[in-house]
């Protein structure tokens, strides 16, 4: 046998020996720390800062313009029907006098037209007067009746305009702001005083969009005065704006406070807290979550084969060191909690610490 044949035989023997060693040598299972997951009823407490506002607030203004003679002072308490502002009434009173004079004239003209129509009709029936004269008299009577109706409407209008010179409170409350002073000439629709009701209070908050989907859940909101935490009240959400604020992208929420909220001053800063509805979820450490093919995933231990499998999960929300999962895991499953970046789907593992974290 020549030298080249001997070298080839030796190399083949070495390669066969190497392949045999690789086939018989297996990769040792990876030690793995896990946690046994269990579902829990988990809720969330949301806190938000807001302010106390009156339930009813009205910017009061006159329907007509004029010279402002009187307005209530800022902070004054008023009753329903009280005059909170008044315009100079002289022009309006003169209009009423003029309208009454027109009404009296119309009544006299109607009475005269009625008598003339009766006399003309009687003469016509006796064949003394003509039919044309009778028709003219009846037309004058109709005209006089129309003038009387117009005069009555004019008087009612003048009296109504005169009543508009007085601004009366629509309900019991407090004057919270003033927009004009006595002696000024104000226009129709110009705010003169702002009236707020002292009977009921709201706590007003600007809430982010993620807390708006409560699915019909109607929680009790606890409201605490920030300057004096011992003062607290409770209430229910009574109004939510249908669209978000274009600049802050938050929703305005009004919470109607119970009787305990009456001691909270208007404009005071408050903190509202609410426990959202509980939901069955599973809490896993943040270190257990990795990126799956279409979303978040974890490695779950297959107890039968002692291998790990990638499992897609539905993450509900993150809470710092933990992740709340609402889908993809079942009670009692083992989830890998450390070294998941080095794990591969189907890899052999050895569970440490009996599945405790």
> Looking at domain 30-42+279-355, which CATH architecture does it have?
Beta Barrel (2.40)
pTM of the predicted model, to two decimals? Answer: 0.58
User: H-type helices in 164-299, by residue range?
Assistant: none
For residue 14, how far is the Cα from the chain centroid? Answer: 80
pLDDT for residue 81: 93
User: Which of 67-76, 120-129, 133-142, 181-190 bottoms out in mean pLDDT, i.e. has the lowest?
Assistant: 120-129
d(CA 329, CA 65): 71
Note the pLDDT tens digit of each residue in 261-276: 999 999 999 999 887 7
CA–CA–CA angle 254, 319, 225 (5° rounding): 35
What token pair was written down for 199? 């009977």
What is the b/e burial string over 309-331, where b = at least 16 CB atoms within 10 angstroms of the residue's CB?
ebbebebbeeeeebbbbbebbee
What is the b/e burial string over 13-30, where b = at least 16 CB atoms within 10 angstroms of the residue's CB?
eeeeeeeeeeeeeeeeee
Q: Which residues does residue 60 pair with via DSSP β-bridges, in sequence order? A: 193
Q: Does the structure show a pLDDT above 80 at 8? A: no
Whether residue 55 contacts residue 137, with contact meaning beta carbons closer than 8 Å, is answered with no
pLDDT for residue 356: 46
Mean pLDDT of 127-152: 90
Mean pLDDT computed over every residue of the chain:
86
On the CB side of 202, CA atoms within 13 Å amount to 17
pLDDT confidence bin for 255, thresholds 50/70/90: very high
pLDDT for residue 11: 52
d(CA 69, CA 88): 6
User: In residues, how long is the chain?
Assistant: 357
Query: CATH classification of 47-55+199-275, choosing from 2.40.30.170, 3.40.50.1100, 3.30.465.10, 2.30.30.30?
Result: 2.40.30.170
**Residue ranges of domains in the chain:** 30-42+279-355, 47-55+199-275, 58-87+166-196, 90-163
User: H-type helices in the chain, by residue range?
Assistant: 3-24, 90-125, 131-163
Superfamily holding 90-163: Helix hairpin bin (1.10.287.470)
User: Which of 122-131, 176-185, 211-220, 323-332 bottoms out in mean pLDDT, i.e. has the lowest?
Assistant: 211-220
Q: Does the structure show a pLDDT above 90 at 135? A: no
Q: Classify domain 58-87+166-196 at the CATH topology level.
A: OB fold (Dihydrolipoamide Acetyltransferase, E2P) (2.40.50)
Query: β-strand 349-352 against 30-36: which pairing, if any?
Result: parallel
pLDDT for residue 212: 62
Mean pLDDT of 296-312: 91
Q: Does the structure show a pLDDT above 70 at 164? A: yes
């Amino acid at each position: 046998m020549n030298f080249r044949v001997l070298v080839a035989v030796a190399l083949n023997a070495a390669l066969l020996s190497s392949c045999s060693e690789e086939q018989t040598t297996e990769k040792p299972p990876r030690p793995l720390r896990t946690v046994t997951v269990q579902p829990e009823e988990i809720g969330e407490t949301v806190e938000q800062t807001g302010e106390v506002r009156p339930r009813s607030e009205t910017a009061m203004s006159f329907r007509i313009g004029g010279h402002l003679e009187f307005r209530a002072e800022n902070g004054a308490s008023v009753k329903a029907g009280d005059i909170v502002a008044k315009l100079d009434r002289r022009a309006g009173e003169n209009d009423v006098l003029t309208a009454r004079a027109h009404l009296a004239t119309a009544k006299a003209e109607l009475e005269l037209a009625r008598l003339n129509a009766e006399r003309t009709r009687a003469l016509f029936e006796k064949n003394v007067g003509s039919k044309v004269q009778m028709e003219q008299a009846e037309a004058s009577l109709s005209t006089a009746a129309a003038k009387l109706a117009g005069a009555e409407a004019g008087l009612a209008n003048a009296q109504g305009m005169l009543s508009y010179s007085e601004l009366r409170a629509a309900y019991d409350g407090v004057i919270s702001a003033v927009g004009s002073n006595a002696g000024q000439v104000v226009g129709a629709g110009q705010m003169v005083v702002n009236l707020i009701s002292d009977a009921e209070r709201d706590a007003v908050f600007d809430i982010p969009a993620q807390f708006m989907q409560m699915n019909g859940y109607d929680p009790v909101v606890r409201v605490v005065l920030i300057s004096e935490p011992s003062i607290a009240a409770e209430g229910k959400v009574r109004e939510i704006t249908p669209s978000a604020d274009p600049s802050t992208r938050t929703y305005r929420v009004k919470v109607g406070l119970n009787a305990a909220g009456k001691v909270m001053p208007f404009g005071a800063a408050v903190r509202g807290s609410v426990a959202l509805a509980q939901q069955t979820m599973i809490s896993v450490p943040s270190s257990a979550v990795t990126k799956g093919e279409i979303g978040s995933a974890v490695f779950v231990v297959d107890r039968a084969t002692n291998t790990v499998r990638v499992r897609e999960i539905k993450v509900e929300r993150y809470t710092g060191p933990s992740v709340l999962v609402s889908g993809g895991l079942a009670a009692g499953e083992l989830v890998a909690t450390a070294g998941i970046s080095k794990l591969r789907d189907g890899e052999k593992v050895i569970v440490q610490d009996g599945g405790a974290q």
